[in-house]
Every structure is written in C-alpha cells, then in structure tokens.
Amino acid sequence: MDARLNQYDEKMSKSVDALISEYASIRAGRANPHILDKLKVDYYGTPTPFQQVANISVPEARMIQIQPWEANLIKEIEKAILNSDLGLTPNNDGKVVRLLFPELTEDRRKELVKDVKKKGENAKVAVRNIRRDGNDALKKMAKDNEISEDESKQLEAEIQKLTDKYVAEIDKAIDDKSNEIMTV
C-alpha cells in the first residue's frame, strides 16, 4: 500500500475499533465487566475508572461483583452506577457491590439489535467520509500536478479497497454482536 494512504487506513481502523469498544458496552444478557469501562467513580474528588479502585469479577453468568479496595467507596460506586445509562440497580452487603443482569426480553433483544445496526451504520458512514476526504485530497494533488492522473486513479482504487475491507469488518462486527444478543 502507498505510504500516502496510511493516514486513511489508520483513521478507518480507528473507526472500526471505536465501534467494537462501543459494542463491548452493550449488555447482551450475560454479565460483561466491560460495560463498566466508561464509568468513573468519585475518588477523593477525582473521577477515576472502576478498575483502578476495585476488583471486578463475574462470579456467575448474570452477575458482576465489584469489590472496592476501600469500603468507603461503596456509596460512590453505587452512585456512579445509578447515574449511568446501564439501567441496573446495584446491591451491596457493606463489602461488595453486586450487579444482577435480568434476562432480556425478546423485545429488548430486538431493540438492542436495532441499536447495534444503527451504530454499525454510523461507523460505515465515518469510513465512507474518510474515503471521500482521501479522494478529495488526491484530486487536489492531481489538479496541482503533484501526482499524475493515472497515479490518482490508482490511489483512489486503493482507497476504495481499504473502504471495502473496513466496511466488511464492520458488517462482521454487526453480525457477531447481533447474534450474541439474540442468543438466549
């Protein structure tokens, strides 16, 4: 691949990575500790990721257990979870916070799959916008006689190959997450 296309390859790759990390935070009925990745707890006035103040484990298929290293953090952890968009109610016994995941209804699963597809479409749009930016840059270079017409066409074809590759990766991610959600 031409070195001039590396920046577009990198941007497209980041779009796919962002989508996959977004998918990690969508709960599919099973307990996944990654849904807590975006949450922060108030640790002596500093917003701090859960992983830095507690031990997070999955003792059962539909339960996450959060054991803070300092007992006084339990209230802050509960507050962070309640203020988030997870839709989960934390329980605590004074030592650990437990999050129980209810079984997803069929309607909720379908709703989540729609959301997954929408996020996937947004990622595809981002990849296509990067392709457009690349093609515009190539046209400008050809117009300014920095590269030949043939070279411009060849590089545009390479950008299209990159776009196709990343759109296929996004489609696969959409299918994988949709199947995960629909599997009971």
Determine the pLDDT at residue 85: 74
Quick: pLDDT tens for 97-127.
888 877 778 888 888 899 999 999 999 999 9
What is the side-by-side strand order in the sheet with 97-100? 54-60, 63-68, 97-100, 90-92
Q: CA 159, CA 130: separation in Å to the nearest integer?
A: 9
Instruction: Identify the top-confidence range among 48-57, 79-88, 152-161.
Output: 152-161
Determine the pLDDT at residue 148: 86
Domains and CATH numbers, the chain: 3-24+105-182 (1.10.132.20), 33-100 (3.30.1360.40)
Distance of CA 143 to the CA centre of its chain: 38
Q: Which H or E run contains 15?
A: helix 6-24
Q: Is the pTM of this model over 0.95?
A: no
CA torsion through residues 170, 172, 177, 178, sign: positive
Quick: pLDDT tens for 9-65.
999 999 999 998 888 777 666 777 777 878 888 888 888 888 888 888 888 878 888
18 — alpha (psi -120 to 50), left (phi > 0) or beta? alpha
Determine the pLDDT at residue 158: 92
